[in-house]
């Protein structure tokens, strides 16, 4: 079955077509990052206005690139939450309109579940499909708004083990970038600055929160802030590269240690890392440089927000027989499981 995915939860307007939950026929993402950069973060009203202006063209382009028309589509999957209410309604309303016009099933998808299913995707023209992740699967979801450890027993069967008590990992990257004077979004800026830095230059705290599956990044962020203030008060130039590298290595260490620990305790068959922060090279290398567990991380283009992941997750709900009524509402604070 071919699913058209639509994603407008935050500041990416995206549409994609995926066959049987895995084969990527097309994926189009219009990022608003240049527009929001001037505000240093996402400006919700500007985001929804941008979605309205671009969504039709993006859906058209996704269909065109897949060489398909709406009549070739079997179901519409759309992000229902979590996200910005004013942004979510744009995608959900368009999805409803298409579902009515074409008499197609409508499936509302959790954005976080989408990030997870990004690891199932492969290019439709690949010589052979790669092995999908095996269950039970330990997922680390690291994005702009979330940092969660989730045990996935089966398709669509999630057990949340823990999550961040304060800032999300991506949020920590964004905040630390801002205090180092690096451009938004912070993750890629920190990664770039860290390339020329010494990760041992500063020792920042790692909140271990032993005995729980939770994370905390606010202490680390405050430690960077204190170091910056201290250096500035002594009239020093900020060693941006060293600060970025020392911060990044602390985040990576916290995430990697707890994820492997959980994978062992719950006897997972594999580890999955997804969400915007999974684009981080240091994090990817740390996970991929060991042989203890097979690790699935989506390709860079599918780590940050996209609609292919929504179509993939939507497919697994579709084959489970799930359908949503046309009065489907958005769920801005929707949690997984
Ligand atoms: P959520 O998925 O929790 O609703 P979101 O959709 O806004 O939040 P994503 O698009 O999944 O978040 O990810 C964006 C986040 O990923 C930002 O915080 C950004 O800084 C971070 N990020 C992107 N690339 C990198 C990178 N290379 N290194 C570290 N962080 C990164
Ligand atoms: Mg975004
Ligand atoms: Fe996201």
What digits encode the pLDDT tens for the residues 213-258?
A: 999 999 999 999 999 999 999 999 999 999 999 999 999 999 999 9
pLDDT, position 122: 98
pLDDT, position 37: 83
pLDDT at 211 over 90: yes
Q: Tell me: the pLDDT tens digits for 92-139?
A: 999 999 999 999 999 999 999 999 999 999 999 999 999 999 999 999
Closest CA to 137 of 277, 293, 256, 22: 293
39 falls in which pLDDT band (50, 70, 90)?
confident
Q: Do 30 and 13 touch, CB atoms closer than 8 A?
A: yes
Residue 280 is assigned to a ligand binding site:
yes
Starting from the CA of residue 274, give the closest ligand. 1
| Burial bucket for residue 99 (CB in 10 Å: 0-12, 13-18, 19+) | buried
pLDDT, position 41: 83
Q: For 336, which DSSP code?
A: P
pLDDT, position 220: 98
Smallest CA separation from ligand 1 atom 4, residue: 145
Mean pLDDT confidence for 68-92: 98
In total, the chain counts a number of residues equal to 337
38 falls in which pLDDT band (50, 70, 90)?
confident
* CA 172 – CA 177 distance, rounded (Å): 8
Mean pLDDT score of the chain, rounded to an integer? 97
Ligand 1: lining residues by beta carbon, under 6 Å: 10, 82-83, 111, 115, 143-146, 170, 173-174, 185-188, 191, 275-277, 279-280, 304-305
| Burial bucket for residue 192 (CB in 10 Å: 0-12, 13-18, 19+) | middle
Residue 69 is assigned to a ligand binding site:
no
Smallest CA separation from ligand 1 atom 8, residue: 144
High-pLDDT (> 90) share of the chain, %: 95
pLDDT at 337 over 80: no
pLDDT at 263 over 80: yes
Residue 120 Cα to ligand 2 midpoint, Å, equals 21
């Amino acid at each position: 079955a071919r699913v058209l995915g639509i994603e407008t939860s935050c500041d990416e307007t995206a549409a994609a077509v995926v066959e049987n939950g895995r084969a990527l026929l097309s994926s189009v993402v219009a990022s608003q990052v240049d527009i929001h950069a001037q505000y240093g973060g996402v400006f919700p009203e500007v985001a929804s206005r941008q979605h309205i202006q671009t969504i039709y063209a993006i859906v058209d382009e996704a269909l065109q690139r897949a060489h398909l028309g709406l009549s070739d589509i079997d179901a519409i999957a759309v992000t229902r939450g979590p996200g910005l209410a004013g942004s979510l309604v744009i995608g959900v309303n368009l999805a409803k309109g298409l579902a009515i016009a074409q008499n197609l099933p409508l499936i509302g998808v959790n954005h976080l579940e989408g990030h997870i299913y990004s690891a199932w995707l492969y290019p439709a023209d690949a010589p052979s499909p790669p092995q999908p992740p095996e269950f039970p699967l330990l997922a680390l979801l690291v994005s702009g708004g979330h940092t969660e450890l989730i045990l996935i027993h089966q398709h669509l069967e999630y057990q949340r083990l823990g999550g961040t008590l304060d800032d999300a990992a991506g949020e920590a990257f964004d905040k630390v970038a801002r205090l180092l004077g690096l451009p938004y979004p912070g993750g890629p800026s920190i990664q770039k600055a860290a390339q020329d830095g010494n990760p041992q230059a500063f020792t920042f705290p790692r909140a271990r929160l032993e005995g729980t599956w939770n994370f905390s990044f606010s202490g680390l962020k405050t430690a960077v802030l204190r170091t910056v203030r201290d250096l500035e008060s002594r009239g020093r130039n900020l060693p941006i590269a060293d600060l970025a590298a020392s911060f990044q290595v602390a985040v990576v260490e916290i995430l990697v240690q707890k994820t492997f620990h959980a994978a062992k305790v719950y006897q997972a068959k594999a580890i999955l890392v997804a969400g915007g922060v999974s684009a981080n090279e240091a994090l990817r290398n740390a996970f991929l440089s060991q042989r203890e567990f097979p690790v699935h991380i989506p390709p860079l283009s599918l780590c940050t927000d996209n609609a292919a992941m929504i179509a993939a997750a939507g497919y697994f709900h579709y084959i489970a027989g799930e359908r949503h009524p046309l009065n489907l509402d958005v769920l801005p604070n929707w949690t997984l499981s």
